[in-house]
Chain A
Amino acid sequence: MFTEGQAVSLTDILTSKEVRSARQTKFQAAYPDQVICAVKLNIPGNVKTNAAIVNIFVDGWHNILATLNQDGYHVQHTVQYRELATGPEGFIIVDGSLSVVKKVMIELETHLPLGRLFDIDVMTQGNATQLSRQALGFSARKCLVCEQDAKVCAKTQAHTYPEILAVIEHRYQQHFHATDWDQTHAVNFAQKGLLYEVSLNPKPGLVDPASTGAHHDMDVFTFIDSSLALGPYFNTAYQAGFNFNEADLTQLFAQLRQHGMEAETAMFTATNGVNTHKGAIFSLGILLGATGYCYRHQLTTLTHLQATVKAMLATLITTDFQGLTTKATLTAGEQQFLKYQVTGIRGEAAAGYPTVFGLALPQLQKTTGTLPQRLLDTLMYIAGNTRDSNLIKRAGELEILTEMHAWTQQYFDLGGSKTAEGMAFLHQLDDQFKERNLSLGGSADLLILTIYTGLLTTMI
């Protein structure tokens, strides 16, 4: 993983250090009252950049800025050079005192998941020498492989190059969960998403093993049949992304839509014509395609996954909602767009699933307890924070969203899935949903996607 790419010579590397040092001096002159941090990686070997290496850099860069921001440091200026053959690097210019900022950077180098791969030099105008770790009371930097002083191991070449690379690769895999993004895992996670969701109970109005909710034409077995019928589609969707070689990712989505239509046929065959997973076919297909694409390009982070989805769906809203008024038969989502201007799952998807990545996943990460407890709390959180088009359709009015929000609030006020009161309320809500013929199909779909992405990042 780290040996693929353009090799650079020792001269290139040494020159890059002098260039960086000169840049630093320039920044010191331009920002005499600020602290200049030079951020770069310390990957051994003569390949200093490739997708995985840039990945590490970008991930760490965001973490550094987030930490500075969180700790109240004012960042004056940043500049990145991601395309250098000698490896990505950047400068962060921040208000503060040299020793305090240096301490922050040492902490980051020590505690960031891949911090050991970073070298952050901190300098300021008028200080010719760099503050050392030891001068600030920190111990010398430890070797990547063993617990010795890193400088001693480097000088004596205590470890072989393959040995060091193996450690880096292992840490990379651990951090980015790269192996969990291969086809076998991803398809497995998609099916788990479907099966976990239907197994979860009690869910307001939805099908679960104990109840068919507000549905009269399906039960848990219909969902099992449907889930298994989608296996081949999930594999195909992943492969489509993995094998996609063109620049325009909207073409990948066009391919996936074709496969999705075939999957709908497979679903209807398995369920005798009942729509169990139409929404999940659409969204999981997109996510699996994006996962395959990201895995192939060694971009196994949620940030990349979301960016890939957005690029795939760049033209979705304009193409799908254009000319609807003249279309003969409309889907539920299309009808609602015309009636309420709600863009539904298409809008959510095209925006890169902000409900999943921005709300549901952080919520899932926060939840505690057993898996079903965590998933129930996540489902209710989603239901209270989204415009569930299935709920709107069944209620026939947008006001239902206000009610839903209040119900969710009450559920969490009662303590959610981990209290008897919270669970009693959920049962009661389920009864009410059945009575009023309401369901949470849209939220259930988003829960499936949250489970899928949660499994990809080992949150579950």
Chain B
Amino acid sequence: MEIKETAMAGTLESSDIQIMLSAGTNGYEFELESDVAKQFGDQIKATITNVLEAYDIQNAKISVVDKGALDLVIKARALTAVQRALGIVDTPNWEVM
């Protein structure tokens, strides 16, 4: 699967993670920002990688700002980002909420 458009999920609130996906050409290119990157950087990347692989995405630029999110939050945000990037779900219009 190819990423059609740049998509984002998540926020910069504590305990959350913001994941931005855009089209890539060279496998998974991560850019990770996290206060706990040293201890958990690999784990965060692995969780997101699992989701991307599940959707059979081969190339992606993945920009991540982690604010101490739990694994299940990372997974959920990654899922949403992927679905938005693939145009599977409508990007919600927050203006109306």
Could you list which residues of chain A lie within 8 angstroms of chain B, going by C-beta atoms?
A: 10-11, 14, 17-23, 26, 38, 42, 119, 121, 129-130, 132, 134, 140-141, 149-152, 154-155, 157
Contact = CB atoms under 8 A, between A and B. Distances in A.
B13 A152 contact: no
A14 B76 contact: yes
Given A130-B12, A155-B39, A150 B68 contact: yes
Nearest 5 A/B pairs, CB to CB? A22-B94, A151-B68, A21-B11, A17-B11, A151-B36
A120 to B, nearest CB: 10
Contacts of B72: 10
Contacts of A11: 76
B16 A17 contact: yes
B39 A19 contact: no
B14 A119 contact: yes
Contacts of A20: 11, 13
Given A129-B65, A134-B35, A140-B35, A42 B15 contact: yes
B54 interface: no
Contact of A155 (B68, B80, B94): B68
A330 to B, nearest CB: 61
Contacts of A23: 94
B46 interface: no
Given A152-B39, A155-B40, 10 more contacts: A10-B72, A14-B16, A17-B16, A22-B94, A38-B13, A42-B15, A121-B13, A121-B14, A132-B35, A152-B36
8 contacts: A17-B16, A26-B95, A42-B15, A121-B13, A130-B12, A132-B35, A151-B36, A155-B43
A18 B39 contact: no
Given A154-B68, A155-B70, A18 B36 contact: no
A17 B16 CA distance: 8
Contacts of A38: 13
B69 to A, nearest CB: 8
Given A119-B13, A130-B12, A154 B65 contact: no
A10 B69 CA distance: 12
A10 B73 CA distance: 8
A17 B76 contact: no
A365 B43 CA distance: 52
A22 B97 contact: yes
A15 B20 CA distance: 16
B31 to A, nearest CB: 13
A23 B72 CA distance: 25
Nearest to B39: A152
A10 B71 CA distance: 12
Nearest to B13: A17
Contact of A22 (B14, B68, B95): B95
Contacts of B80: 14
A155 B44 CA distance: 10
B36 A129 contact: no
B72 to A, nearest CB: 6
Interface in B1-46: 9-16, 35-36, 39-40, 43
A20 B70 CA distance: 19
A10 B80 CA distance: 13
A129 B68 contact: no
Which of B12, B73, B80 has its CB near the most chain A CB atoms (within 10 A)?
B12
A18 B68 CA distance: 16
B90 to A, nearest CB: 14
A38 B71 CA distance: 24
Contacts of A154: 15, 68, 70
A42 B67 CA distance: 13
Interface string B56-94: 000000000100101111001100100000000000101
A129 B12 contact: yes
B68 A19 contact: no
A10 B76 contact: yes
A164 to B, nearest CB: 13
- Which among A18, A21, A23, A132 has the highest number of chain B CB atoms within 10 Å? A18
A26 B94 CA distance: 10
Contacts of B97: 19, 22
Given A10-B73, A19-B94, A155-B68, A149 B14 contact: no
Given A140-B35, A155-B68, A21 B76 contact: no
A38 B40 CA distance: 27
Contacts of A151: 35-36, 68
Nearest to A155: B40
A219 B47 CA distance: 79
A459 B70 CA distance: 41
Nearest to A149: B36
Contacts of B40: 155
Nearest to B75: A10
Contacts of B14: 42, 119, 121, 141
Contacts of B65: 129
B27 to A, nearest CB: 26
Nearest to A134: B35
B39 A21 contact: no
B78 to A, nearest CB: 12
